[in-house]
Structure 1
Amino acid sequence: MGDVGAGNWCLIESDPGVFSELIRGFGATGVQVEEIYSLDDESFTPLKPVLGLIFLFKIDKAAETKSEGALVQDSRLDEMFFAKQVIHNACATQAIINILLNVSNDGLDLGDNLKAFKDFTKSFDGQTAGLAISNQEQLRSVHNSFARHQVFEIEEQTQAKDEDLFHFVGYVPFNGRLYELDGLQEGPLDHGAVDNDKGDWLTLAREVLQKRIEKYASSEIRFNLMALITDRRAKYEKEIEELRQKTGGIEDNDETMIEMARLQSLLDAENSKLKQYKTDNVRRRHNYIPLIVNLLQVLAEQGKLDEFYETAKKRTEELKKAEMKLK
């Protein structure tokens, strides 16, 4: 079985449960990641305050699909954290770190490791900061804890030349401007002025994302957007406690009881979601290969392996034909 070796970084699934656990693994607390399915304002409102956005898209060489942000090359680089991606497959962690180290919010606690890393890289340029990430063992270890088990190690040079490559970038407001933090660029990309206090940076961010998605026209529909937000459980627990203190712990009217029930329901939903995230992440890490090998052996002994193989082969061909019709 191929394993992720020292110095190598695995591919990361675009999933809010994975990203939330990555952040906790890095030592940061007070935030979580939620998936966004639409760029409508209604999709963002329940999540506010949104601290940053993580966008996944397919990389291509077409000039028209590139970002329109202006490359930052002035003294703003001294105030922001930006790391270039110098590690293959590390763009997920790269996007998270680029966002976290530029967020200013009382709810976010970076933790000792990220605080020390931010101080250590304070005077680094993008290339050097990227190299610093590559040498940060805790970041690599947490990142690679999501490596999928493989029966064989597939060498990069044997992969198909036309294989689709996807990339994570971050969007974050900083000192009154919206920035795109893309580790494949030479520096942060400035998308314009925003009012951080009013939280209207999302309006501009949605416009930027919508415009970029539309550039792909009908050639690509595979995009993913996630939001870095404050910890919902902490928010609801605080509101429940404030309501109890306000009423002296006595829920003696319908309005108070309804509001308490609403907050408790939201808190229960978050706890349930977190529990499901943990279950899903355990399954992602589990090595199913011995089970699969044993299953194949049993099917072979029962003379059913060829039948299952032909059925799977036929189904795969049908799916390929259906996919070709959609293109």
Structure 2
Amino acid sequence: MEGKVETQIVLTKPLSLDGDSNDEYRAPNMLQRVLSLLKNVPPIFNIPKSQLQFYGESVYCVGDDMLGKCNSKQSPSERITAVVAWSISTLRPMTFGVAPYNPILGETHHVSSGTLNVLLEQISHHPPVSALHATDEKENLELLLCQHPVPKFCGTSIEAEVRGTRQLRLRNHGETYVMNSPNLSIKFFPVPGVEWTGNDRIRCHETDLEAELSYGGKSFLGLRGNPRSIRGKIFKSSSMKPLFEINGHWDKIVTVKDLSSGEVKVIYNSKEAISGLQTPVVKDPKGVWPSESALVWGEVSQGILHKDWVKAREAKKAVEEKQRELSKDRELKGETWAPKHFIVSYSKEGGWDCSPIEKSVPPAPIVVPFNT
């Protein structure tokens, strides 16, 4: 078994660059996996962790200090370039045929990595909406995310549009970077696979700088394009004047070219950023909240890791039935559920939005070990 286990708190290794080819959690049959998309996913098709943990790991499990670099750069152009590199680092290889647990309403995930404290909460179950708040008082930065994946069947694939925005605030510089996320494309034919596709836009109003990134994908026959390619540019928002060109692959190297000088330099190295990532450990078992992902799904994860599918199935059923009972109880009492850590709003025009109740995230009982 991987990770630290304390009173059914189960943590497993994060998805990393080398995890794409060394994955123990592959579905046994593609057709079964396709059929399972039409109903609740049985544990044999689950990776032993929640979707909430996936979102969190993309922020706190990084081999290189990508966020710190955003804050330490001297010029606005250097900082937005560093933000672009950090945004790329949040993409991880996904495995076809398996899926994380769908987080229950009110589920949380609270982890610290050095001085960065990260807190996530599932603020809606139908539809699934996740909120993330991260603060680093030493670096004086803050990250806020409200994410809502919307899947759409497209014949030979499922396109999951990742709605919502991310905001990275560099308080030392008085700058806020607003960005979206590329989409996730799950292809069934002719070659099954999972790819990041679409566009990502990063903008800072305070510096009048903006970046546009385009993520490549294979054609239906797999003959054109590279599924992990990145092309883009950094430009002045007001004049649309291009300043830099971005090229590369998110699972290899990404470079930026200064259009005024012609200088080309590497801004992102995937092996340094997302290889050999450390599994979080429980530092303070008593401090773990009952709503913590690693505890909520602990018995299910244990069953999956031991390939005890009966135990995993029964444990997952117990989690889901408890949620249905809580929902019925609230309905009978006329109560409306509200998140504990976020203020949430929704509108047809703007979609889901959230703001943290507390100004900063406290240190967590679960921590990411330092790389040795």
TM range (shorter): under 0.3
Q: Which entry has the higher C-alpha Rg, 1 or 2?
A: 1
More relative contact order in 1 or in 2 (CA 8 Å, sep 6+)? 1
Per the normalisation by structure 1, the TM-score is 0.27
Structure with higher helix content: 1
More strand by share: 2
